[in-house]
Structure formats: C-alpha cells, structure tokens
Structure 1
Amino acid sequence: MGKAYVSNGAKIECQLCTKPEGKLMVTSNQIKVQDKLFANAKDKEKTNLIFQGNCKKSPWQASPCISVIKTEEWKDTSDTIIQDAQALTEASTIMCVYGGVPIKITDHLQVNAPIQLLPIMAPVIVVSTPQVVEVLTKDNKTKTNSGKVEEKTDSCI
C-alpha cells in the first residue's frame, strides 16, 4: 500500500512540547493535492512547524516552542519531487535539534476514501396508451366508451 502525501494543515506532534499537537503549514510551493497545498522537504522552518505550547527542554519550560525550535532535514520522504524538493509522506519525520526528539506527522489530511459515484439518470417519462373518451361523428352523434350513441344538440338562445 502506498503512503499518503502530507497536506497543508497536517497534524504534527512533538513529545517535548507542553501542547504536543501542532500544525504543518506549507509555504514552499503552490502545488495542490485534493484542493490542499502539498508539503515538501522545504517545509521545515519555524514558520512551517507551528506549536502553541512551551518546550519542556527549555529552562523552567518557559520558552515557547516556536522560539526555540531548530530542525535538521526531513527523513523518510517520498521519491516524488515537488518544486525541487522531495514530497513529505505520512512516515516522514524531522529532528528538533533543540529538544533532541523527532517531530512526527500524526494526520496527513489526505483523504483516502473513494467518493461514492451515483449513476446519472435522465428523468423517466411514462407514456400510457391513449384512450378514446368520446367520439363526435359528422351527423352530430356522440359515441362514448360505454358504447352508447347519443344525439348531440346545440342549444343556442
């Protein structure tokens, strides 16, 4: 089974952050997959790896992760090249040099479920057999479905 590619807004995780769940924001390219920007190995800066908590490795856990994060290169990237850099997959990780732990992708945001396609149908028009309700003859007689023949008279005043 192939690995899913990583999209803008993917969930990432750092175990040394007081709020371990963060977001990966794509700034490296404009290529989209499923209407979301496609992440590649250039998305590795402070502006890309967004965490809201503080780093547990900082003195008294006082430094926000975003201020101390320093990364190496992404590992376990795809062989697919997107705008001069390897695409990120759900298995990709990046080491935070400051904390000494890998940052992992926990939700790549690529939708893998097929979309249900329903057949397109034209409106159905039902044509019934025409029925004769009444027949008017030249001699002004009317024949109905019951078989009765009646004389038709015009009444004018």
Structure 2
Amino acid sequence: MDLTDLMFTLYPYAKSLHIMAVLSWMAGLFYLPRLFVYHVEQAQKYEQIQPIFVTMEQKLLKLIMRPASIVAWAAGLFMVFTPGIVDWSYVWPWTKGASVLAMTWFHHWLIRRQAAFATGENKLTGRQYRLMNEVPTLLMVIIVVSVVFKF
C-alpha cells in the first residue's frame, strides 16, 4: 500500500475527527465571548467573582479550545493534502481557508482578551463582547456554505 492509498483509507477517520474537533472549537468560540460579557457585567457588582471567571475562561481556552483547534487544523490539513480531494480551481477552498485563518485570528484575539481580564486590564464593554460574539457565527456560515455548495 502506497502513501496515497493509505491517505484515502484514513480520510473518513480524519474527516470524522475534523468535524468533532471543529464542533468543540466552535462551542468555545461561541461561549468564551459570552463569558466575557458576564465577566464585565458581573465582576463590577461582586468582587469575589473575578477569580471564578478568570479560572473558567482559562480552563475553556486551555482544556477545550486549544486542543480542539489543534486537532481541527491537523485533521483539516491531512484532508487538504490527501490527493484528489480539493480542487483548487474552485473558489470554495479559498473562502474556507480564509475563514479558517480568520477564525484562528479570532481565537488568538480571545486569548489576548482573557489575559487582559486575568491582569485586570480589560478595557472592552459587555456590548463590545456581544458584537464580537457574532464573528464566529459569520465565519461558520461562510465555511459551511463554501463546503456544502463547493462554488
């Protein structure tokens, strides 16, 4: 069995793993900005709640989002490099790729925001975090439409 045959054999496993990892990653991308909203709005009312929010945010990032994003990327790259799977003459792989890069940027933006909360340097409001909570939704729509319709 050559490498191409092996990649074709492993492709359904990589695709399944990719879908599960993306679901986990997206759950974190949706939930963390919402936690930031509550953090901003409730920490002002209850001083002792600040460390609880920081711990929740750190654990979500480190235990769920980071591993899920790494697995999503690894499985996704495996699929991209499987010969004959992606036709680069279409637009969809480029729109999906750009959206995944934007999603990764958003993930790292969230990491920086969490660090600002942990050091007491957050400057954004609950409203701003509510608006940023729409970013992963928009990216998800672009990715799903790109992959399903393959335009």
Same-fold call, TM cutoff 0.5:
no
* Structure-2-length-normalised TM-score: 0.20
Q: Greater share of helix residues, 1 or 2? A: 2
Q: Greater share of strand residues, 1 or 2? A: 1
Point out which structure has higher relative CO (alpha carbons under 8 A, 6+ apart).
2
* Structure-1-length-normalised TM-score: 0.20
